[in-house]
Structure formats: structure tokens, C-alpha cells
């Protein structure tokens, strides 16, 4: 259900506003409700990820896509604020199922190749928050991370 809600509120994935579950412009009640709903779902997923008996690897795999797609959901108000919640949820998912960390990191880093500077910046915020939490555990993944960071520094996008 969480994956459906995240997908149904992502205006970047669903271009027709009439098909969205909730959508509103910035500073409108609909926009605030949509932001609140998406934030609560992200927090809910993060809290569920604390319980590996319930949050199985299949559930985690199913939610990685909608969670990482939320990075590009900049049309919904509160996007930058949600990035911190998103980083926490993605970290908890990958902490509960360490085999999925590479997949999570790869999907986030692919968002740094987006054509919009705002999306690249938000993806970097999420990567930074996850790296802060992982600490030295990021060392085995540095060969994968460095090409993405060098592309950003060279300004290819």
C-alpha cells in the first residue's frame, strides 16, 4: 500500500494531475495535505524497516523504487524537507537488509544524473545523509560512488 501511495502522489511519475491521489500548489491546503501524506508514508516505511521480521527483503525491494523516485518529486510542496525523511527511511531499509544497500545507493546516485540542478542537489543531500549514517561502511562502495561525484564536479550535467 505504501508503494501505491508514493507512486500515486508523485507528480513527476504521473504527469496527468487528474490521476494523482493528492496534489496541490505550494501554500494551498491540498499541497500541504499531499506533503504531509507522503512524509508520513516515508516515516512509516522507515519505522517498519526497524523490524526485520515484518519488513522482509521482498517488501524492501518493492519499496526501494518508489522511495528513490520521491527524490524527483519536486512538483509536490515540501520537497527539500522530505529529503531528510527519505534519507532516514532509505538508510533504515538498507540497514535492515544490507544486501540491498548497493541497489539503494545505485538508484540514488542515478538521480544525480538528472537534467535539473534541483534534483541533483536533493539526490546529493540524500547521499550525504546516508554516508553520514553509514560512516566507514561506505568504503567498499567508493569505487561506485566516485564516478558519479566526479561527473557532478566536472559539470557534465
Give the C-alpha separation, 153 to 156, whole Å. 8
Instruction: For residue range 66-90, list pLDDT tens digits in order.
Output: 999 999 988 888 888 888 999 999 9
Q: How much is the pTM?
A: 0.87
Q: What integer pLDDT is reported at residue 5 of this predicted model?
A: 83
Residue 157's pLDDT is 60
In the chain, alpha helices (H) = 2-8, 29-48, 57-69, 79-96, 101-110, 117-134, 142-154
Taking CA 115 as the corner, what is the angle to CA 102 and CA 77, rounded to the nearest 5 degrees? 85
Helix axes 142-154, 101-110, angle to 10 degrees: 10
What pLDDT digit, counting tens, does each position of 88-132 carry?
999 999 999 999 999 999 999 999 998 889 999 999 999 999 999
Domain boundary assignment for the chain: 2-154
Rounded to whole angstroms, how far apart are CA atoms 107 and 152? 16
Tens digit of each residue's pLDDT (9 = 90 or more) over 20-70: 666 666 666 677 888 888 999 999 999 999 999 989 999 999 999 999 999
Identify the pLDDT of residue 94: 93
Amino acid at each position: 500500500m505504501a508503494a501505491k501511495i508514493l507512486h500515486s502522489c508523485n507528480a513527476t511519475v504521473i504527469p496527468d494531475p487528474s490521476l494523482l491521489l493528492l496534489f496541490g500548489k505550494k501554500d494551498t491546503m491540498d499541497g500541504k495535505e499531499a506533503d504531509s501524506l507522503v512524509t508520513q508514508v516515508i516515516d512509516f516505511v522507515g519505522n517498519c524497516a526497524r523490524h526485520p521480521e515484518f519488513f522482509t527483503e521482498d517488501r524492501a525491494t518493492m519499496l526501494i523504487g518508489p522511495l528513490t523516485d520521491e527524490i524527483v518529486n519536486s512538483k509536490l510542496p515540501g520537497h527539500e524537507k522530505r529529503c531528510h525523511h527519505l534519507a532516514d527511511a532509505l538508510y533504515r531499509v538498507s540497514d535492515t537488509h544490507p544486501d540491498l544497500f548497493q541497489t539503494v545507493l545505485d538508484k540514488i546516485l542515478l538521480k544525480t544524473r538528472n537534467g535539473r540542478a534541483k534534483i541533483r542537489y536533493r539526490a546529493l543531500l540524500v547521499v550525504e545523509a546516508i554516508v553520514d549514517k553509514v560512516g566507514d561502511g561506505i568504503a567498499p562502495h567508493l569505487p561506485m560512488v566516485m564516478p558519479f561525484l566526479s561527473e557532478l564536479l566536472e559539470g557534465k550535467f
